[in-house]
Amino acid sequence: MFGTVRTRILFFAFLSVFAVAGLSALSWSIILKAEDASKTLIQTNLNEAWLLADLEQDHRHLQDLAYKIKAQLLLWDEIETEFSRLETALPAHWQSLETDPGLSEWAEAHREDFERVLALIARMKEGIAEKSYYRVGQVVDFDLFPAMEPMLEAIAGRQFQSRKSVSDGADELLSFLAGQQTFVIAGSVSFLVIVIAMTWWLRQSVILRLQGMQNDL
């Protein structure tokens, strides 16, 4: 089978091309897997985390504003500006959750909790319209905790799930890359060994024979 010089050289060339193609295919599969996992982490898990963080921040700001109004720490111009912002931001961020594929079911399950927050905002708005610290203070005393606590607990629970999902996805990607790294190293070393062995074989079977023929001539 390897009786002629041409056959031996062609076999060596074919084997080299096959080894390079195998390593290239393995590297490409690693790139595709890493790209897909990264896209999932960024577009799905991290996006969920950002949406939940925005919603939580709105709730915390509303809670903080309510306590400051009760304590009469802000002027009404400041109160009206911040309250108007939150009155717009909260429904907008909630709508973003409702349209997000990963959070729509969660938003539907906690719609009633959010309705209580909207009711709280409506009652606070009445006191703010009257510019009555006392009226807003009554709302804070009797309605703030029952309205805010269930929503904040729900957000915290979902954030924990999102963080765990991000952590699990990152661990899975790192584990995959570590495993593929072993295959790449093993393949590269094997290819190097094969090249060295084939070079020695060609030297022994072809080059030395040609040199011997040249010396005979």
**Average pLDDT score, the chain:** 84
**pLDDT at 31 (0 to 100):** 76
Question: Does the pLDDT value for residue 38 go beyond 90?
Answer: no
**pLDDT at 207 (0 to 100):** 62
Question: H or E element: which one contains 140?
Answer: none
- The pTM of this model reads 0.69
Question: H or E element: which one contains 3?
Answer: none
Which two structure tokens, joined as six digits, stand for 70? 């009760």
Tell me the per-residue pLDDT of 67-105, one tens digit each, with 9 for 90 and over: 999 999 999 999 999 999 999 999 999 999 999 988 999
Question: Does the pLDDT value for residue 109 go beyond 90?
Answer: yes
**pLDDT at 213 (0 to 100):** 60
Question: Does the pLDDT value for residue 32 go beyond 80?
Answer: no
Handedness of CA 191, 192, 196, 199 (dihedral sign): positive
**Helix axis angle, 111-129 relative to 47-70, nearest 10°?**
30
Question: Does the pLDDT value for residue 111 go beyond 70?
Answer: yes
**pLDDT at 217 (0 to 100):** 58
Alpha helices in the chain (DSSP H): 5-40, 47-70, 76-99, 104-109, 111-129, 133-139, 145-202, 208-216
Tell me the per-residue pLDDT of 132-146, one tens digit each, with 9 for 90 and over: 999 999 999 999 999
pLDDT band at 4 (very low <50, low <70, confident <90, very high): low
Higher pLDDT, 155 or 190: 155
Phi, psi at 100, each rounded to 5°: -80, 130
Q: Cα 206–210–213 angle (5° rounding)?
A: 140
Higher pLDDT, 163 or 180: 163
**41-79 burial by CB neighbour count: b if 16+ within 10 A, else e?**
beebbebbbebbebbbebbebbbebbebbbeeebeeeeb
Q: Quick one: what percent of the chain has pLDDT higher than 70? A: 86
Higher pLDDT, 19 or 79: 79
Question: Does the pLDDT value for residue 197 go beyond 60?
Answer: yes
pLDDT band at 215 (very low <50, low <70, confident <90, very high): low
